[in-house]
Each structure stands twice: as structure tokens, then as C-alpha cells.
Amino acid sequence: MLMRITVTLLMAALLVFGIVSWADYDFWLMGPSPSHYTWWWPEEMSTLGQHADNLFWLIMVMVTVMFAITMGALTYSIWKFSAKRQDKAVFSHGSHKLELLWTAIPAALLLVIAFSQMSTFAAMQFDSSMEDENGEELPVLCEIWASQFDWRFRYPGRDGRFGTNDDFESAYELVMPMRDTFGDPDKKKVVFLLRSRDVLHSFFVPHLRFKRDAVPGMTQRIWLGVDDEQLAEIMADREDKSFDIICAELCGWGHYKMSGRVRVLPDAEYEKWVDEMTALQFGNS
């Protein structure tokens, strides 16, 4: 009897805690949070990240329902079908109908999840997402270079071409414009080339829900888009207007300290920053 109560309570506790903690986002916001960070993910401020977050919540709903059904059935069975209360178990080898039911429903749900994410993934990673209306590749803002254990960002300078005399470098801090020249928030795209000098690294910006390995020997085109309204709202009460870049692939003993920051500037301020950097690295030009 004691064991029956104990195990039922353990399972019930897991059931309740599971549902509360997964379905109630506020639950974790109560965590100790001296900064703007909680025990949940940081605020989202990219043009595409919202789609990923929505997909997360769609799965959350399905998973929570499934969890409640299965954990609930498990907890109930442990309480209800105790040996002390039954003489003999039901003699059954299964049910064809039930099998069909619990194959077809999860299959349908999984297919819904599978197909509903395709367009977002394509928009994130396919080359076509980095072209303008005419199929021309969008210009590259800068090269992101990863190496043990720092991030460097090489800008093409005023002439817009790499490998010329006016290229300049920024270490640690990636500065990017909002690029709202199109006027359409979905088209705010800034394209980068992601490269590594030595081993694998991974370029992870939690606020932009972006992560991609920097693979030595490969040059990858990636893009980031920042939603300026979200950004303004989130950064309003902060002194430091930049946010974390984190290395997300083991790159050696110093992996843990391979950090960087992203700072997003309005287009005009960005141009000013380019001038400052050029002046800083080459004197007045």
C-alpha cells in the first residue's frame, strides 16, 4: 500500500510539474533574474525567429496534450490496477482498432509538424533566401571569421569589395545595420560569409535564434534580419545595446570563453561607424 501511494504520488508529481513547467511560460519567468534574462529563452528580435518560436509553441500544445494523456494513463493505471484490488488481469492480447487509432493520429500530427516547418527552414537556409527580386545575390556585409578562441569580422570597406586596401576588421563585436531600405520588414536581410580559420566553431546568436557551424574549408552564406521595433522595445531600458554571440561547437580548451557581441545600428549610424572604423585603422581617408 505504501509503495502504491508513493509511486502514484511520484508519477502524479511528475505529471503536474511537467504540464505546468512546459505549458506555463510565466512559471520560469519567476526564476531569479538579476538581468534581463530568465530561465526561459531570451526575447526574440529577428524577422524570422518568430516563426521558429510559433512552431515551438505549436509543438508545445501537441506535446503537452500527449504528455497529459500518457503520463495520466500511467499514473492512473498504477493506482487503479493494483494487484491487491484485482483477482486476475484482463486477458487481452491487444486491439486492432486501438492500434490503428494510435498509429494514425500521431502520424497525422507528426506530418503536420513536418510540413508546417518547411517554409521557415527554407527561408532560413536555402540560397534563394539570400537573393533579391531579380534573383541577384544580396551583397555581403562582412566576413565572419572564427578561430580559437575569438570572433573577427572583416568588412569590405567603402568600395564593397574584399581583398582591397580599405578592408577593415572588427574584433569581438559584430556591427550590423538594420537594412530597412526595402521598407518591408520581411526583407530586412543582412548577408554574411561564415568561415573558420582552424577548427569547427559555431556562430550562435540566441536573440536572433540563429546558429550555424563555421566549417574550415567551407565558406557559407548566411543571413540575419533584425526586427527594428522589437529591437527598440527590448533595448529601450538597457545600457549596453549589444547582445551575445556564443560559440556553440566544441573548439578546444578555450571553447567556453569564445564570446562576441552583436550591435545593430540604424542605417545612418552604421555608415558613421564604418567611417570611424576606417579612420581608426587607416588614418583619415
Partner 1 sequence: MSDPNASSIRPGMGEPGTTRTSHEHHELGFIRKYIFSVDHKVIGIQFMLLGLVFFVLGGLFAMAIRYQLAWPWESMPVIGDLLFPNTGQAITPEFYTMLFTMHGTIMIFFVIIPLLTGAFGNFLIPLMIGAPDMAFPKLNMFGFWAMIPAVGCVVMSFLQPGGGPGSGWTAYPPLSTIASASPGSLSAQTWWLLALTWVGFSSMMGAVNYVTTIVKMRAPGLTMFRMPLTIWALLIAALLQLFALPVLTAASMMQISDRVFQSGFFTPTNLVINQINPEGAGAAAGGQPLLWQHLFWFYSHPAVYIMVVPAMGLASDILSVHARKPVFGYKPMVYSLCSIAGLGFIVWGHHMFASGMNPALGMTFMVATMMIALPSAIKVFNWLGTLWGSRIQLTTPMLFTLGFIAMFIIGGLSGIWMAATPVDIYIHDTYIIVAHFHYIVFGGSVFALFGAIYHWYPKMFGRVMNETLGKIHFVGTFIFTNGVFYMMHQLGMAGLMRRTADPYDYESYAHLQPLNVFITISAFCLFVWQIFFVWNFFHSMFWGKRVGRNPWNAASLEWEAPSPPGHGNFDSALRVYRGPYEYADPSVEEDFLAQTRDIESK
Question: Least distance from C-beta 271 to partner 1, angstroms?
Answer: 27
Q: Which of 157, 165, 169, 161 has its CA nearest to residue 197? A: 169
Measured CA to CA in angstroms, residue 47 lies from 72, 172, 180, 223 at distances of: 39, 24, 11, 11
Which residues, in sequence order, are CB contacts of 123 under 8 Å at separation 6+? Answer: 48, 51, 129
Question: Least distance from C-beta 43 to partner 1, angstroms?
Answer: 11
Amino acid sitting at position 146: A
- In angstroms, the first-to-last Cα distance of the chain is 85
Helix (H) / strand (E) element for 268: namely helix 267-282
The Cα 184–Cα 186 span in angstroms is: 5
Is 248 a binding residue for partner 1 by CB under 8 A? The answer is yes
Which residues, in sequence order, are CB contacts of 113 under 8 Å at separation 6+? Answer: 55, 58, 59, 62
Minimum CB distance to partner 1 smaller for 38 or for 281: 38
Minimum CB distance to partner 1 smaller for 191 or for 274: 191
Minimum CB distance to partner 1 smaller for 246 or for 277: 246
Give the binding-site size for partner 1 (rule: CB under 8 A). Answer: 105
Is 279 a binding residue for partner 1 by CB under 8 A? The answer is no
Compute the half-sphere exposure of residue 80: CA atoms within 13 Å on the CB side of its CA.
7
3-state class (DSSP) for residue 75: helix
Question: Least distance from C-beta 159 to partner 1, angstroms?
Answer: 25
Minimum CB distance to partner 1 smaller for 177 or for 206: 206
Question: Least distance from C-beta 251 to partner 1, angstroms?
Answer: 6
Residue ranges in 179-238 that form contacts with partner 1 under rule CB under 8 A: 197-200, 202, 204, 206, 209-213, 215-218, 220
3-state class (DSSP) for residue 86: coil
Residue ranges in 258-277 that form contacts with partner 1 under rule CB under 8 A: 259
Which residue intervals of 117-246 are DSSP H helices?
A: 118-125, 228-235
Is 51 a binding residue for partner 1 by CB under 8 A? The answer is yes
Residue ranges in 52-91 that form contacts with partner 1 under rule CB under 8 A: 52, 55-56, 59, 62-63, 66-67, 70-71, 73-74, 77-78, 81-83, 86-91
Question: Least distance from C-beta 36 to partner 1, angstroms?
Answer: 9
3-state class (DSSP) for residue 95: coil
Judge if the upstream peptide bond of residue 149 is cis by omega within 30 degrees of 0. Answer: yes
Minimum CB distance to partner 1 smaller for 128 or for 284: 128
Minimum CB distance to partner 1 smaller for 176 or for 247: 247
Residue ranges in 101-160 that form contacts with partner 1 under rule CB under 8 A: 102-103, 106-107, 110-111, 113-114, 117-118, 120-122, 124-126, 147-148
Minimum CB distance to partner 1 smaller for 3 or for 268: 3
Strand 173-177 with 220-224, pairing: unpaired
Q: Binding pattern to partner 1, positions 1-40, x when CB under 8 A?
A: --xx-xx--xx--x--xx--x------x--xxxxx-xxxx
